[in-house]
């Protein structure tokens, strides 16, 4: 188990840990704590899975136990090898390690089959010839009991031979099922003689074409847990009604080890969707650029966006674990990544929407090197030199000919400091034919050089800049929330109607400090006054591409928006 998860400082008690604590006191599982993370490989992992991963692996770490990674691959018609690979990558990236305990439900197909045979021999399961439609009719409704299948009382021998034939592929898909013999009148529909095996003549990504029948989740899951010695089988709320069935299989098959299923509420996030079905839809309809589009709430999307594993783990710690439905404000996720990057990200100046500034009293061919701090939060990160010159770029937004109240940046009559440099004063604005400002002329005060003895003069604002002939051009992608309503998945309506058309803005000619040309993937930067950025995976030497992870908190636009 990865021991370097130093951010997991506080135990963060929750109802699941209380259950475990109690089990330890009563010695229910001989002082063992063994969990598992059981994804189905039918999609990429998302931030909701991260909650489950942090929960399961986190408990194992804190209780000195173990956590398995087990693929719940019992439905080959939906599952793919691409997903099993991405899932492993994502769990590792998050910082967790299953060591040698990588399992697949398909590892147990033979044993699962034998369990089914045992159930038949004990008269607790039967082969049913009802079609899917008939099965639904026989099941009854939420308020009415179901009816027994006409095939319910077949002899054990007949069941055995028919199940054997199912296994051998003698029947077409959908013609037969193996069902547990429980109670068609149970108020819990899951107990109304549930299907435990179905015919699926589909090749499996691991077992190939050796099986024509596949076990259902309810049958496979508990038994797999028991085989692996899982003590606490943690799953989401919708499986609550399945727990009696989980227990039934283990009891009827006389398992000596009986894991405890515990259910918790899945994560919901504002301004996003979390269901795999909807995420798949976004990918397939090309609404986003694949599973790892930086706007996706997938682990791979967050990674490409620039989120760190630490920040996601901290986020998962903060949201807690409980049984009630919840919707977490994305602002909490954003806070988690800002908190982390504030401490770690190298500061740099980058002008996203450049406008030229000419310092008219600065000598034409002179340049000088100015000292710039790499991270005020961490002096050990040192400093660097930035080139100052007569012609610079500043942010379009940082000059206003006719400024609103409380505007602290450059404007006629209002001085600003150029960060790490001099204080400058407006002289003139050059406009194009359409009246748009294309260049601003200023003077600088040589006495105010940053760090010099006379640099103490106070000005309200400091703006970032970059030398006009010493910079690197780059594409920058500004990401915003994918949806413009808090809860995009309203019942009945199409979640795609709430897509935010401005969730991606591409800026093509941004001017960045020169040294950014040697950026390596994985490095994170704060573009001062703007946000945190990282190199996109499609970036190249020819065409630099930076992704904005998250903007800095911005009290100015807040003031602006209030008006």
Q: Which residues are catalytic?
A: 40, 266, 276
Distance CA 351, CA 215 (A): 58
**Interface with RNA, residue 26, by CB under 7 A:** no
Which residues, at least 6 apart from 550, have a Cβ–Cβ distance to it below 8 Å?
A: 306, 334, 337, 338, 341, 531, 532
Binding mask 344-383 for RNA (x = CB under 7 A): ---x---------------------------xxx------
**Interface with RNA, residue 327, by CB under 7 A:** yes
Q: Are strands 195-199 and 213-215 parallel, antiparallel or unpaired?
A: antiparallel
**Interface with RNA, residue 472, by CB under 7 A:** no
**Interface with RNA, residue 412, by CB under 7 A:** no
Distance CA 211, CA 204 (A): 8
Nearest distance from residue 377's CB to RNA, in Å? 5
Could you tell me how many residues of this chain bind RNA (CB under 7 A)? 94
* Nearer to RNA (CB atom), residue 10 or residue 256: 10
**Interface with RNA, residue 274, by CB under 7 A:** no
Nearest distance from residue 204's CB to RNA, in Å? 11
* Nearer to RNA (CB atom), residue 24 or residue 135: 135
C-alpha 254 chain-centroid distance: 39
Exactly one of 93, 113, 217, 227 binds RNA (CB under 7 A); that residue is 217
Nearest distance from residue 464's CB to RNA, in Å? 7
* Nearer to RNA (CB atom), residue 293 or residue 423: 423
Closest by CA position to 389, among listed 367, 418, 422 = 367
Nearest distance from residue 166's CB to RNA, in Å? 10
Please, are residues 262 and 232 in contact by the beta-carbon 8 Å criterion?
A: yes
Closest by CA position to 196, among listed 211, 171, 181, 179 = 179
**Interface with RNA, residue 81, by CB under 7 A:** no
Exactly one of 88, 118, 326, 470 binds RNA (CB under 7 A); that residue is 326
The continuous run of DSSP H or E covering 506 comes out as: strand 504-512
* Nearer to RNA (CB atom), residue 84 or residue 293: 84
**Interface with RNA, residue 320, by CB under 7 A:** yes
**Interface with RNA, residue 214, by CB under 7 A:** yes
**Interface with RNA, residue 322, by CB under 7 A:** yes
Which one of 114-122, 320-328, 498-506, 514-522 is the stretch in contact with RNA (CB under 7 A)?
Answer: 320-328
CA diameter of the chain: 102
Which one of 136-144, 222-230, 360-368, 436-444 is the stretch in contact with RNA (CB under 7 A)?
Answer: 136-144
DSSP readout, 349-416? -EESSEEEEEETTS-TT-EEEEEEES-TT-GGG-EEEEEEESEEEEEGGGB-SSPPTT--SBBTTB-E
Exactly one of 2, 11, 15, 369 binds RNA (CB under 7 A); that residue is 15
**Interface with RNA, residue 237, by CB under 7 A:** yes
Which one of 167-175, 350-358, 359-367, 425-433 is the stretch in contact with RNA (CB under 7 A)?
Answer: 167-175
**Interface with RNA, residue 325, by CB under 7 A:** yes
* Nearer to RNA (CB atom), residue 27 or residue 562: 562
Distance CA 34, CA 104 (A): 16
**Interface with RNA, residue 167, by CB under 7 A:** no
Exactly one of 159, 233, 498, 526 binds RNA (CB under 7 A); that residue is 526
Closest by CA position to 344, among listed 524, 512, 529 = 524
**Interface with RNA, residue 528, by CB under 7 A:** yes
Footprint of RNA on residues 429-468 (CB under 7 A)?
449-451, 455, 458, 461-463
CA angle 505, 506, 511 (to 5 degrees): 125
Which one of 49-57, 89-97, 153-161, 418-426 is the stretch in contact with RNA (CB under 7 A)?
Answer: 418-426
Which residues, at least 6 apart from 197, have a Cβ–Cβ distance to it below 8 Å?
A: 116, 163, 166, 177, 178, 213, 214, 215, 216, 219
Name the residue with tokens 């340049």: 367
Name the residue with tokens 């069902």: 179
Structure-token pair, residue 30: 């001989």
**Interface with RNA, residue 242, by CB under 7 A:** yes
């Amino acid at each position: 188990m990865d021991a370097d998860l130093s951010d997991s400082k506080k135990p963060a008690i929750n109802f699941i840990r209380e259950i475990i604590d109690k089990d330890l006191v009563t010695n229910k599982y001989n002082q063992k704590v063994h969990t598992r993370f059981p994804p189905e490989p039918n999609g990429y992992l998302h931030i909701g899975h991260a909650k489950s991963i942090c929960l399961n692996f986190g408990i194992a770490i804190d209780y000195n136990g173990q956590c398995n990674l087990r693929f719940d691959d019992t439905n080959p018609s939906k599952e793919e090898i691409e997903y099993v690979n991405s899932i492993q990558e994502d769990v590792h990236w998050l910082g967790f390690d299953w060591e040698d305990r990588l399992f697949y439900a398909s590892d147990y197909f033979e044993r699962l089959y034998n369990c089914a045979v045992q159930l038949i021999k004990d008269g607790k399961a039967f082969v049913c010839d009802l079609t899917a439609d008939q099965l639904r009719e026989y099941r009854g409704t939420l308020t009415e009991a179901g009816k027994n299948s006409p095939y319910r009382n077949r002899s054990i021998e007949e069941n055995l031979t028919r199940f054997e034939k199912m296994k051998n592929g003698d029947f077409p898909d959908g013609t037969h099922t193996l069902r547990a013999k429980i109670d068609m009148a149970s108020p819990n529909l899951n107990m109304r003689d549930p299907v435990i095996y179905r015919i699926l003549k589909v090749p499996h990504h691991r077992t190939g074409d050796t099986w024509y029948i596949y076990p259902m989740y309810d049958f496979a899951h508990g038994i797999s847990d028991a085989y692996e010695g899982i003590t606490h089988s943690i799953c989401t709320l919708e499986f609550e009604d399945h727990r009696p069935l989980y227990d039934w299989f283990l009891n009827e098959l006389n398992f000596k080890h009986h894991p405890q299923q515990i259910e918790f509420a899945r994560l919901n996030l504002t301004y996003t969707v979390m269901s795999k079905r909807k995420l798949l839809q976004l990918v397939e309809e090309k609404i986003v650029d694949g599973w790892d589009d930086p706007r996706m709430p997938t682990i791979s999307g967050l990674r490409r966006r620039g989120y760190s594993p630490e920040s996601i783990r901290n986020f998962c710690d903060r949201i807690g674990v409980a049984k009630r439905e919840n919707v977490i404000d994305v602002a909490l996720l954003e806070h988690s990544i800002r908190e982390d990057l504030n401490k770690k990200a190298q500061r740099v100046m980058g002008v996203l929407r450049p406008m030229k500034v000419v310092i008219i009293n600065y000598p034409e061919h002179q340049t000088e090197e100015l000292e710039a701090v790499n991270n005020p939060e961490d002096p050990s990160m040192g400093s660097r030199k930035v080139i100052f010159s007569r012609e610079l770029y500043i942010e379009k937004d940082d000059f206003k000919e006719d400024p609103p109240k409380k505007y602290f940046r450059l404007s006629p009559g209002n001085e600003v400091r150029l960060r790490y440099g001099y204080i400058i004063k407006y002289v003139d604005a050059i406009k194009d034919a359409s009246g748009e400002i294309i260049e601003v002329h200023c003077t600088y005060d040589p006495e105010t050089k940053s760090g010099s003895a006379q640099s103490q003069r106070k000005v309200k604002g400091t703006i970032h800049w970059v030398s006009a002939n010493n910079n690197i051009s780059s594409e920058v992608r500004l990401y915003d929330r994918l949806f413009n309503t808090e809860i995009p998945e309203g019942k009945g309506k199409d979640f795609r109607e709430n897509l935010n058309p401005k969730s991606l803005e591409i800026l093509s000619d941004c001017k960045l400090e020169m040294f950014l040309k040697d950026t390596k993937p994985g490095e994170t930067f704060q573009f001062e006054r703007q946000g945190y950025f990282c190199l996109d995976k499609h970036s190249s030497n020819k065409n630099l591409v930076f992704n904005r992870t998250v903007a800095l908190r911005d009290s100015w636009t807040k003031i602006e928006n209030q008006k």
